[in-house]
Structure 1
C-alpha cells in the first residue's frame, strides 16, 4: 500500500450506482477523519451525459446533492493504481495489477421507481460502510 489508500467505484455509465457509492465514500472519509489518507476514484467504461435523475432525487433524501456531478471515463491505469475496485455488477473488468476487485452485482437504478432506487441506495450505503471498515483497519495498520 502507498501512503494514500485508493478505492474506486466503477460501473458502465458512471451515472447511478458508482455515483451513489462515491458520495457515500466521501461521507465515510469525512466521518472517519481519513482526509488525505484515502483517495476515491470513480468512473465508467462508457459514461453517460449526466447522473440519472432518479438517483439525484433519491440521494437528496439524505442531503446529498449529485446534480452537479458529471459521469466520467475511467482508465485501466487509474484502476490498476487502486487498492480496492468495487464494480457494480456490470463489469468484465480484468486488471493486471495487484488490485482487490469486489463485484457487488447491484441492479441498475436507471428508469426504476423510487422504492427500487431507494433499496439500491440503501444497499450501496451498507456496502460502502463495510469497505470503509476494511480500509480504516488497513490505513491504521500501515
Structure 2
C-alpha cells in the first residue's frame, strides 16, 4: 500500500483536459503522487492540438493514450477530479470529488486551447498545495 496520494482526472474522451491535468501533475510532483486519467467514452487518440499546446510548455504527451474509466480506477484514487463528464463517474464513499468546469478542447485550435491549458495548470498547482504530498528530497551536493 502506498503512502502517496493518488489522483484520478476524468473527462469524457480522455483526449484533452484530463490528459493535460495528469501531465501537469506528473510534471510538477514527479513520483510523489500517483496520477491517473480516464474517460467515460475514450477517444481513439489524444487531441493533436492538445499535444502541441503541452509541448509549448515543455511537456511531451505524445505517448499517452485515452483510457476507459473503471470503478476500480475511482476506488483506488484518493481524489477524483471530473471535467465535464457529468454524472458518469462512479461515486464511492470516503473519496474526495472535485469538478473543474473547463471548456472542452475538442475541435479547437492550439490558440483556443492555450487558456484552457493555463487554467488546468493553475487548478493543478492549487490542488498540489492541498494534498498531503511527501516532501521533495533535498538536492545532493
Q: TM-score, normalised by structure 1?
A: 0.86
| Contact persistence 2:74–2:80 (CA under 8 A) | yes
Following superposition, which runs of at least 4 residues in structure 1 exceed 6 angstroms of deviation? none
CA RMSD of aligned residues (A): 1.8
Is 2:92 the counterpart of 1:99? no
Partner of residue 43 from structure 1, selected from 34, 38, 42: 38
Contact 1:83–1:99 (CA<8 Å) still a contact in 2?
yes
How big is each residue's C-alpha offset from its partner over 1:3-55, in whole Å with a ceiling of 9 and x where there is no partner? 2211111111100000000110001212xxxx2x4211111111111000110
Unaligned runs of 5+ in 2: 135-141
- Give yes or no for the alignment of 1:85 onto 2:69: no
Structure 1 residues 4, 61: CA separation in 2 closer, same or farther (over 3 Å shift)? same
Identify the residue that residue 134 of structure 1 maps to in structure 2: 130
Checking the alignment, whether the CA contact within 8 Å between 1:80 and 1:98 is kept in structure 2 is no
- Please say which of residues 93-102 and 118-127 is displaced more in the overlay: 93-102
Give the Cα separation in 2 of the matches to 1:18 and 1:109. 11
Q: Which residue of 2 aligns with 1:75?
A: 70
Question: Do the aligned residues in 2 keep the contact of 1:80 with 1:97 (CA within 8 Å)?
Answer: no
Q: Which whole-Å CA distance do the structure 2 matches of 1:69 and 1:139 have between them? A: 24
